[in-house]
Amino acid sequence: MTGRGTVLGPDGLARCPWGLEAESMADYRAYHDTEWGRPVHGDDALYERICLEGFQSGLSWLTILRRREGFRAAFAGFSIAAVAAFTEQDAERLLADPGIIRNRAKIAAAIGNARVAAAWGPGELTELVWSYAPEPKAAPRTTGDVPAVTPESTALSKELRKRGFRFVGPTTAYALMQACGLVDDHLADCHVRGASAR
């Protein structure tokens, strides 16, 4: 499978091609350069990423990125404890909130996932997610070298679902792993590649 290699941005720096999508260059470039692939630890922080990746399913990441502050406001800053206490009235409030993606199943999953995680001990979600981080692999040269699913993401998805999480299929789990730095899928020539270690 062929793919695209790095692209030079207007600042002369090489980036993964998605980091310079024309219609959204500023949004994607900032996310690509400062967040994507950087290690994320902490139960609430990982819960936020799990929720956002779930809401992204079937949509463009840009849609989620541009509504992230709306999501944070609607979901109490993605505090697991706070969202776990949401009521049916909160769910209805979320369904009427234009600042987020108003999908009943995804909203129910976000609340349900918080209730599952709230029953765990401190750090348990972080430990679980990071236990599936694979050994570092060779840097991808083109987007065609970047998988959509891996054995580790399939295993993480299976374990999360076994424990009661929803909207965490293998592709979503791999997107989570990429976004949270469990893997470094910045292309080999990308200026961000290897910018931060685990």
- Residue 23 has a pLDDT of 58
Residue 18 among the catalytic residues: no
Q: How far apart are CA 30 and CA 100, in angstroms?
A: 21
State yes or no: is 36 an active-site residue.
no
Q: Which residues of the chain have pLDDT under 70?
A: 1-2, 21-24, 196-198
Choosing from 61, 130, 132, 174, the catalytic residue is: 61
The predicted pLDDT at position 198 comes to 47
* pLDDT recorded at residue 1: 45
Separation CA 10–CA 118 (nearest Å): 45
**What is the Cα–Cα distance from 143 to 187, expressed in whole angstroms?**
7
Helix 170-179 × helix 43-56 angle, to 10°: 130
pLDDT digits (tens, 9 = 90+) for 31-83: 999 999 999 999 999 999 999 999 998 898 889 999 999 999 999 999 999 99
pLDDT of residue 44: 98
Per-residue pLDDT, 114:
98
pLDDT of residue 2: 59
Among 171, 149, 164, 159, CA closest to 127: 159
Determine the pLDDT at residue 88: 97
Residues 20 and 7: beta-carbon distance below 8 Å:
yes
Give φ, ψ of 167 to 5 degrees.
Answer: 60, 45
Is residue 130 annotated as part of the catalytic site, yes or no?
Answer: no
From the candidates 18, 28, 31, 174, give the one annotated as an active-site residue: 31
CA–CA separation, 140 and 47 (whole Å): 28
Amino acid in the structure at residue 195: A
Q: Using CA atoms, how far apart are residues 54 and 33, in angstroms rounded to an integer?
A: 22
Which has the closest alpha carbon to 117: 105, 107, 104, 129? 129
Q: CB under 8 Å to 170, separation ≥6 — which residues?
A: 149, 153, 154, 157
Q: Active site residue: 28, 36, 47, 53, which one?
A: 53
